[in-house]
Each structure stands twice: as C-alpha cells, then as structure tokens.
Structure 1
C-alpha cells in the first residue's frame, strides 16, 4: 500500500473551533447529495473504513471498479475506472468547495481521519472523525490551499492507484477531475444562487492550478453560469446506451456555442 503523507493546506488563516466547523459543514451538507459530510467519531457499526485504503490500496479500489463495471453493464475496466474516478472526484470536491465558498472555511480532509462506507448506489458516505478547519482571512487566496487539500492530498493518490490497476491516460483522469469541479460549481450555484459568481471565480483559479491547468476551457456565458469544454473524454460514450457528455471534447463546437447562448438568454441577459 502506498503511504499518503499528511498534506496540510498551508494555514490560510487561524484554526476555528470544532463547533464552527460543524455549523459550516451542516449548512453545506443541507444542499444534499455529494455535499454531505458527517462529523465525529466513527460509529461502531461495521463497514466504515479509512479513506486512505480507498485512495491507495489496489485491492480495495479494484473491488470498487469491478462493482462499478457491473452496475454500468460494461466489461471495459478502463471505462469503469474512469467513471468511478470522476464520481469520487465530485464527492471529494463538493463538501470542500461548498465550505470554502459559503463560509470562507477550509475543512481538513486528511484521509487518515476521514472514513467511507461502501454502498449499493448514491453518493459515497463520508465521515471526518476530527472536525477541524481554518478560516480564510483572504478569500482570494484560498485556491492554493484548497487545491492542496483535494488534488494533492486526495485525488493524486487515487489517480496513481487507478493507473496501477488499469492503464489510463493521466489527461483523462485530470480532465475528469476538472469536469467534476465544474459540475460542483453548477450544483452549488443552482442551490445557492447568491454564491454562484463567487464559486465560478474560485473554480477558474483552481482550473489554472497544477494538474488541472490545460484540462479544458471555462466560459461564463452568463454570470455564475459556467460552461466547460474539456480537452479529453471520460469514455462514457463507450457504455451501453451511453452518449457524449455536455462538456466532452467530442461535442461539436457549434452545438456548445448554442448551449452557451441559450444559457445566457435564460439568465435574462
């Protein structure tokens, strides 16, 4: 098993009390779905496992890929691994990005103290055993610490393990991470319209950072309504009954421009 070193976010501000973290996380979790994050000691019920295992243990992750392949009805392990990675990326981006945008708070998601539980479907249950976080003194500088928390601390180990199991192009995986990020921005803006513009501004900075740089082009045909065109394909089209995603590199540029114009019209501009 690969050992994941602890990644500290670079102290963007002073630490806040566990109670303040709990309030912020509960508010963001109320958005539902992928934004949910439980806090506190891990229940005694069986099934909860440290997140480090899912990120770095090939046996654990291979079982999840096989489960995904069965649910998708495909024998292509590479396709199942791609879809699983994108779903996990969205799951890890959502509570982190939500707390950063809604509360100027960086939540500690050290994988040694975050637990997950396998389920038959739906968002992966996550629980942070230690509710720690940092207030962001300067919201304009949160992109770097947030990138280190999610990409460096969580997604890089996960991507490395995926590639140990099945040959997968790095560009595909980081395109998936970028697509998951933009999907999170859209969902956050849909549920909290007043935060949409702020969320997109942060997303734009993240997409210009490290491994996310060059994964695609973010447009904003209407304020707070991002449109993303990625430079790779997640392989969804190879699934039985699958098609092309809205941000896929295979989508005709004219169709994408038409969608952007429609979004602008619907916003009242």
Structure 2
C-alpha cells in the first residue's frame, strides 16, 4: 500500500500538550508522523480483514507466550482484549494532554497512523492536529469535549468495526472504553498527583455522558487521596483465557479481591470503605 502524503508540521501547541502527556507513560505517547516505512493509516483498521489479521497475530502471541493450544484462546475474547488495548492508546494521550498539557488534541481517524505492535502498547503517530485549550475550561466541559472528539470519534469507528467483524456486544466494548479511560486517569493521578483531582473529575464527567453512561461506577476508597477506581458493569472477557483471571475493575472480581487491588495501588488506606 502506498504511504499517504506527508502532513505538514503540526501546530506548536499540539506538540507541547502531547509532549506533556507523553511523560506520563508509553500509553500516553503519540509520535509525530513522518513518511517512514511501516506506518499505516488508522483508517486501515476499519477494514474487517485487517482487524482479523491483527487479532490472529495477538492470539498467536498469546498462545506462544502462555504455551496454550490453538483452541484454548477464543477469537472473540482476543478481539475484545485487542480493542481494549487500542482504545487505551486512543483515549490516554488526549486525556493526558487536556489535563496536564492544557490543550485537548482533536484527532480524527485520518489524522492518526499505526504500526503493528511487537510488545507493549500499539505504536501510534499523529499528523497536524487542531487543539482545544483547556486551561480555562471547567471539568465538565473538558469531559464533554473528550467524549465528543475521542470516544465519539476514532474510538466509535473502531468499536463498530470490531463489533461487526467479531460479533461482540456493544456493552462489552463500551465497557472496555470506560476501562481504558479510567485506567488512564488512574495512571495520570499516580504519575502527576498535582493533576489527580482534575483527572478524576474529567473521568467522572465522561462516564456520565453517552455512550459511556452506565458502563460502571467510580469509587474513591481513600477520602484523603484523589484516586478513583472504576467498577465495571460488565467484563472484557479476559477471564475466558486459561489462567487469565479477572481485572481489578471487572464486575466478576470479588469485593475482597477488588479491595486488595485498591490497597496495593494506594499503599494501604486505613480501612476498607463501608
């Protein structure tokens, strides 16, 4: 496939906001895109056959790493987990840039490129981006803008493609998006405590808006620390992989297991919530 034309340099404020986000960790980093071999437009992932190739590659990696037989890893489960990882890469940099960098990058699917991941998060790159300054916006306005531009933008398009190809429930897929966003807000709060309150407020506002409304509840186990955790109302299906277990935010995780997870993150608040 011929590479798309090289975009011009992106606006300075987009670079600065995304650079601030990238310090939070690899899931928050989008690279500036250049016409190098290996990058493919994000729109390629709207093709069901391309998605099937990526999910098959993920299943092969999982089987090899865990020494599992081919029939032990259901395709729909791998597809759900693959989408969760991709959703995290699409929502984390905008959230980080909006909260820590003072500007929300607005990226459509035509503005982003990807490369097949070898290990760790999906490599994503961006072209020139419009931005919405967020420093003077209230938290709910940032939440609404984040949902409109990210969740209702590239994420929704990819969600619809995964749903059509793999017959996945939209409730599971939107739950994955909520999990990705909550995970990003949690990492942000841990890495940049000065921004923890705003990260939690933006997350809470986003989860009150469709299509994320109803995907789960937020809990603040320690009233003295600005750290929220999501309790999902559904599951990403990872537990169906032999040895997979459940995630900390999963609806299937027991209250005791969930509390142990929160305690490990918070380094031991005095007592569990009532």
Listed as ranges, the gaps of 5+ residues in structure 2 are 1-9, 64-71
In 1, the alpha carbon distance for the partners of 2:48 and 2:214 equals 28
Aligned-CA RMSD value: 2.0
Cα deviation, residue 210, structure 1: 0.3
Q: Does 1:139 align with 2:138?
A: yes
Does the aligned pair in 1 maintain the 2:85–2:122 contact within 8 Å? no
Given the alignment, which residue of 225, 228, 245 partners 2:227? Answer: 225
Given the alignment, which residue of 58, 66, 75 partners 2:56? Answer: 66
In 2, the alpha carbon distance for the partners of 1:253 and 1:30 equals 33
Give the match's secondary structure for 1:81.
Answer: helix
Cα deviation, residue 255, structure 1: 4.0
Cα deviation, residue 108, structure 1: 1.8
In 1, the alpha carbon distance for the partners of 2:56 and 2:260 equals 38
Matched with 1:42 is 34
**Aligned ranges 1:11-50 → 2 under 5 Å:** 18-39=11-32, 41-43=33-35, 45-50=36-41
Cα deviation, residue 267, structure 1: 5.3
The 3 A distance-change label for structure 1 pair 83 and 262 is closer
The 3 A distance-change label for structure 1 pair 265 and 64 is closer
Does the aligned pair in 1 maintain the 2:30–2:93 contact within 8 Å? yes
The 3 A distance-change label for structure 1 pair 37 and 258 is closer
In 2, the alpha carbon distance for the partners of 1:244 and 1:127 equals 31
Matched with 1:181 is 181
In 2, the alpha carbon distance for the partners of 1:68 and 1:116 equals 15
Give the match's secondary structure for 2:183.
Answer: helix
Does the aligned pair in 2 maintain the 1:236–1:242 contact within 8 Å? yes
The 3 A distance-change label for structure 1 pair 50 and 228 is same
Matched with 2:153 is 153
Does the aligned pair in 1 maintain the 2:18–2:101 contact within 8 Å? no
Matched with 1:249 is 251
The 3 A distance-change label for structure 1 pair 267 and 27 is farther
Does the aligned pair in 2 maintain the 1:81–1:162 contact within 8 Å? yes
Does the aligned pair in 1 maintain the 2:179–2:232 contact within 8 Å? yes
Cα deviation, residue 168, structure 1: 1.0
In 1, the alpha carbon distance for the partners of 2:88 and 2:252 equals 22
Cα deviation, residue 51, structure 1: 0.9
CA deviation vs aligned residue, 1:188-244 (integer Å, no higher than 9, x gap): 111111111110111000011101111111011123211221111111111122111
In 2, the alpha carbon distance for the partners of 1:31 and 1:102 equals 9
Matched with 1:210 is 210
Matched with 2:98 is 100
Cα deviation, residue 22, structure 1: 1.2
Give the match's secondary structure for 1:211.
Answer: coil
In 2, the alpha carbon distance for the partners of 1:27 and 1:261 equals 28
**Alignment: residue pair count:** 250
The 3 A distance-change label for structure 1 pair 124 and 258 is closer
Given the alignment, which residue of 40, 43, 46 partners 1:52? Answer: 43
Does the aligned pair in 2 maintain the 1:38–1:126 contact within 8 Å? yes
The 3 A distance-change label for structure 1 pair 58 and 102 is same
Matched with 1:5 is none
Matched with 1:165 is 165
CA deviation vs aligned residue, 1:85-105 (integer Å, no higher than 9, x gap): 110111111100001111331
